[in-house]
Amino acid sequence: MPSVTRKPQANRQQRREHMERRLLDATERLMSDGASFTELSVDRLATEAGMSRASFYIYFEDKGHLLRRLAGQVFDDLASDSERWWGVAWRHNPDDLHAAMAGIIASFRRHQPLLVALAEMAAYEPLTAQIYRDLLAGISERLAGVIQDGQADGSIRRELPALTTASALTWMVERACQQNLPDSQPRYDAELAATLTEIVWGALYLTPASTE
């Protein structure tokens, strides 16, 4: 017999995810208009998202809790972008890697205000800093699996320690986006995507990208 509590719990989770997406969109709209995250009140965030202050506090303890939850939404987007390469890595095609890099950069560009706020809060709040590292570690672990699969089929250098290499490449891409995108115009993104593709491909694969 199905559990009588399973469906209400699933519905609550769906409502929470819906609330998070609305608040993510609202937060990024307000920050794109020039507001800093520290300046945004719960009332203003809730109003922009089309919900009540009371509804906000049903799901979130405070703004810090909201920001940490929104970070998960953003990193889900980044992981989805990465799947453009990970999901078809067996093809050994640098165009797949380039598509993933372009998607990742586009997500960093789209979510830039929130990522800036997250980095600022991580500087003085250990919990936020740990969550940020954990989210990147999740992406790094998935990349390590891609590296191990490539080493098994002979396409990726076997001398590379998969976990260490994945962590180094993940943080390289994150830092390149975080440090360069805020001060650059969108036309820079194509150059960055091409550059990161060459660096990652050259670090991992035995066959140069230009010969594929």
pLDDT band per the 50, 70, 90 thresholds, residue 37: confident
Q: Minimum mean pLDDT among 62-71, 103-112, 149-158: which range? A: 62-71
Sorted by where each starts, the structural domains of the chain and their CATH numbers stand as 1-60 (1.10.10.60), 68-211 (1.10.357.10)
Q: Which residue has the higher pLDDT, 174 or 4?
A: 174
pLDDT for the residue 212 = 42
pLDDT for the residue 211 = 40
For the stretch 77-84, contacts whose Cβ atoms lie closer than 8 Å and that sit 24 or more positions apart, written own/partner, are 77/107, 77/111, 78/104, 78/107, 78/108, 78/139, 79/138, 79/139, 79/142, 81/106, 81/107, 82/139, 82/142, 82/143
H helix intervals, 111-187: 112-122, 126-153, 162-180
Mean pLDDT of the 107-121 span: 87
pLDDT for the residue 168 = 98
Pull the structure tokens for residue 35. 């507001």
Instruction: Round the average pLDDT of the chain to a whole number and report it.
Output: 89
Is it the case that residue 2 has pLDDT exceeding 70?
A: no
pLDDT for the residue 92 = 95
Q: Which residue has the higher pLDDT, 15 or 99?
A: 99
d(CA 13, CA 172): 34
Mean pLDDT of the 130-155 span: 95
Mean pLDDT of the 65-78 span: 87
State pTM to two decimals: 0.83
Q: Minimum mean pLDDT among 59-63, 93-97, 183-187: which range? A: 59-63
d(CA 102, CA 81): 8
Is it the case that residue 152 has pLDDT exceeding 70?
A: yes
Mean pLDDT of the 163-172 span: 98
DSSP class of 50: T
